[in-house]
Amino acid sequence: MMRREFDTGVGSASLGSMPFPSARVSASPAKPVPRAPALSRSRQLTVYVISLGLWLTGAVWLLAHYVLTYEGEFGPVPHPLEFWSIAAHGAFGFASLWLLGLLWSVHIPAGWRSLRRRWTGSIMFGVAAFLVLSGYLLYYLGSADMIPIVAVLHWGIGLACPALFLLHRFARDPAR
């Protein structure tokens, strides 16, 4: 490694080699912050279709389960959409697990290295992990006392996901 000498000070007295090369003022402009690579059109469409399908089937199930029931001869009768919407929601839920794997391999590491939108991306990942876990608990949890709590958290947070996605997608990066 080459040592650099510089002459400054009083009466051209040499101050010796510079002990901290990083202390040297550089005239080069600041490096631009790298961007995470954009998803291809087909992957972007896949993300949107699975996410929208997951959200819509969950919202339709909520409507069918809580609003569209009607009084039958022997008590409340579930709406026919209730079964099909929860079945489709489960199918989209499995597809979303595949989608999380796709994003984990393609989008998340590059986005993390780019230092851009880390907060919103981290929150989105945490919310997705919570929804996967709570969906699993709703399917397999045996405690009748816990199911209503987990259900309200699951659909309350799930309904807020489009706003979170829009926040992440269109967030402005802080000036650097």
**35 within domain boundaries:** no
Give domain status of residue 154, yes or no: yes
Q: Is the pLDDT of residue 10 over 70?
A: no
Task: Report the predicted TM-score, pTM, of the whole model to 2 decimal places.
Answer: 0.75
CB 54, CB 168: distance < 8 Å: no
Average pLDDT for 53-69:
95
Domain that holds residue 90: 41-169
For residues 142 and 17, the model is more confident at 142
Number of domains in the chain: 1
70 φ, ψ to 5°? Answer: -135, 160
The three-class DSSP label of residue 134 is helix
The tokens for 168 are 């992440």
List the beta bridge partners of residue 7. Answer: 14
Cα-based angle 22, 23, 25 (whole degrees, multiple of 5): 100
Q: Is residue 147 part of a domain?
A: yes
Which whole number is the average pLDDT over 90-107? 94
Whole-number average pLDDT of the chain: 83
Among 26, 81, 90, 11, residue whose Cα is nearest residue 53: 90
Establish if 117 belongs to a structural domain.
Answer: yes
Q: Is it the case that residue 7 has pLDDT exceeding 70? A: no
Q: 67 falls in which pLDDT band (50, 70, 90)?
A: very high
- pLDDT given for residue 8 in this prediction: 46
pLDDT-derived band at 30, boundaries 50, 70, 90: low
Arithmetic mean of pLDDT, 119-134: 95
Distance, in Å, from the CA atom of 5 to the CA atom of 18, rounded to the nearest integer, reads 7
**Closest listed residue to residue 64, CA positions, set 76, 49, 52, 74:** 76
Residue 82 has pLDDT above 80, yes or no: yes
Question: Is 22 among the domain residues?
Answer: no
23 domain-assigned: no
pLDDT > 70 fraction of the chain, expressed in percent and rounded:
77
Residue 9 is assigned to a structural domain of this protein? no
Q: How confident is the model at residue 6 (pLDDT cuts 50, 70, 90)?
A: very low
pLDDT of residue 164: 94
Bridge partners, residue 17, by sequence: 5
Report if residue 61 sits inside a domain. Answer: yes
